[in-house]
Amino acid sequence: MLGLEKGKVILSEYDINWPLEFENEKKSIQNTLTENEIRIEHIGSTSVENLCAKPIIDILIGINHFDEGFKFASLLEAAGYEYKGENGIPGRHFFVKGNPRTHHLHMVEINSFFFSDHLLFRDYLRENPEEKNQYAELKRSMAVKYVDDREKYTDSKAEFIQNILQKAKGMI
């Protein structure tokens, strides 16, 4: 089941339907942004098998130039997404879908650190079950502590994420 009220932090156990939900949404986005050179990836905890997550599908779209995102915004809005601008992260176009929220879409330049770091983090957790389990424990404890403050919940995971990225970059 997908969807979470804005600002709330409630984790769900892994749902085998999340990858299917992503694939369906990916097809819809490809049809919406047809004839444009983009790369679409499933990121966030819903993209890592057997990891608890907020039931919101995170989608990463790599584009060639930041300004392309402005022309894509109206197309995505017509497809049900709400455009939020950079929403606190320079260089990112951010979109949300659903009420309650079911999808977050992050559109960035394909050669940006945002793009590569999100894929690196996802792939590292997929290949390292011990760290994936540590991350799940951290997420569960922070979800209890910050149930009504998604921003603090996200910030509380930053150090762990940075440590994983350092490890992952050391393996490249």
Q: Is residue 32 part of a domain?
A: yes
Show the tokens assigned to 72.
Answer: 């894509």
Cα 72–Cα 86–Cα 77 angle in degrees, nearest 5: 35
Q: Summarize pLDDT for 10-37 with one digit per residue, the tens.
A: 999 999 999 999 999 999 999 999 878 8
Among candidate residues 23, 104, 112, the one with its CA nearest the CA of residue 63: 112
Q: Is residue 8 part of a domain?
A: no
Q: Is residue 151 part of a domain?
A: yes
Q: Is residue 5 part of a domain?
A: no
80 close to 35: Cβ distance less than 8 angstroms: no
Question: Rounded to whole angstroms, how far apart are CA atoms 170 and 51?
Answer: 24
Query: Residue 172: what pLDDT?
Result: 63
The mean pLDDT of 113-131, rounded to a whole number, is: 97
Q: Which CATH number is 143's domain given?
A: 3.30.460.10
Query: Residue 75: what pLDDT?
Result: 94
Q: Summarize pLDDT for 41-67 with one digit per residue, the tens.
A: 999 999 999 999 999 999 999 999 999
Q: Is residue 108 part of a domain?
A: yes
The mean pLDDT of 61-90, rounded to a whole number, is: 95
Q: Per-residue DSSP letters for 121-165?
A: HHHHHHH-HHHHHHHHHHHHHHHHHTTT-HHHHHHHTHHHHHHHH
9 close to 144: Cβ distance less than 8 angstroms: no
Average pLDDT, the chain: 94
